[in-house]
């Protein structure tokens, strides 16, 4: 498929996991990808993995730094000649049992997961073409379903989901689509870093997909679909990709 022939795409969280897989998928489908992450070594590995008719350039940036986001979007527009698709994958994940939840936990999770997403949307929207612009924001199935010991993470992703649905309504008149994609369990470095420790994780046996965890490539396929012309009438609706774990 070549659904993104020379389409300029701005992608955050591109250094690993879902972000890297999405960059690789979009380049394979012909997109010109401006890949962003704070991990420069990871970005280099993403570039090495990308192969196809598209191309990829990178920029190291902190999604929580407003000046950095403003400069990054400006650089993407200059490098790509515009931006048609914005994909916000950048995020962090951690367990926060309520007895040990700190204000620092809340602020960091919201700063990265919500504030970073919102800043990139704010800066990119003026450049998205009316009738063709697309925003895909990665939320989580935790946004709408209970995930013990992850209240702060779930709240931050719930905010991403609410933000995305509201933004879809706001931009509908301009023909700019906004699609939140909510993964379930995905086998990535981010999720592998979450360890039970002394916590009772038996609850998660109830919400584990019989298909097993998704691969980053499976999520990349869903994101590519949401951003593509194949989904031209999809906006303001959560695309849940969880292997039926919450059916």
Q: Which of these is catalytic: 149, 153, 203, 233?
A: 153
- The Cα 143–Cα 150 span in angstroms is 10
Q: Could you give phi then psi for residue 193, rounded to 5 degrees? A: -75, -15
Residues near 202 by beta carbon (within 8 Å), at least 6 away in sequence: none
DSSP secondary structure code for residue 243 in this structure? T
CB 234 within 8 A of CB 177: yes
CB 215 within 8 A of CB 183: no
How many other CB atoms are found less than 10 A from the CB of residue 81?
A: 10
Q: Known catalytic residue: 233? A: no
Maximal C-alpha separation, the chain = 51
CB 58 within 8 A of CB 36: yes
How many other CB atoms are found less than 10 A from the CB of residue 103?
A: 7
Residues known to be catalytic:
153
């Amino acid at each position: 498929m070549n659904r993104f022939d020379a389409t300029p795409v701005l992608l955050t969280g591109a250094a690993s996991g879902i972000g890297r897989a999405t960059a690789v998928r979009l380049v394979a489908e012909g997109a010109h990808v401006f890949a962003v992450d704070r991990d420069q070594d990871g970005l280099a590995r993403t570039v090495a993995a990308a192969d196809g008719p598209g191309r990829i350039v990178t920029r190291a940036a902190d999604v929580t730094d407003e000046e950095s986001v403003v400069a990054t979007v400006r650089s993407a527009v200059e490098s790509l000649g515009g931006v048609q698709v914005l994909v916000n994958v950048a995020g962090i994940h951690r367990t926060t049992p309520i007895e040990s939840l700190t204000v620092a936990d809340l602020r960091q999770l919201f700063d990265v997961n919500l504030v970073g997403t919102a800043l990139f949307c704010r800066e990119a929207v003026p450049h998205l073409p009316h009738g063709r612009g697309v925003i895909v924001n990665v939320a989580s199935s935790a946004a709408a379903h209970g995930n013990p010991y992850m209240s702060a993470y779930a709240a931050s992703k719930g905010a991403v989901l609410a933000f995305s649905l509201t933004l879809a309504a706001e931009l509908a008149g301009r023909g700019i689509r906004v699609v939140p994609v909510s993964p379930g369990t995905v086998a990535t470095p981010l999720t592998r870093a979450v360890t039970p420790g002394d916590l009772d994780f038996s609850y998660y046996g109830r919400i584990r997909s019989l298909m097993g965890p998704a691969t980053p490539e499976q999520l990349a396929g869903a994101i590519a679909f949401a951003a593509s012309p194949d989904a031209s009438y999809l906006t303001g609706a959560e695309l849940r990709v969880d292997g039926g774990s919450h059916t």
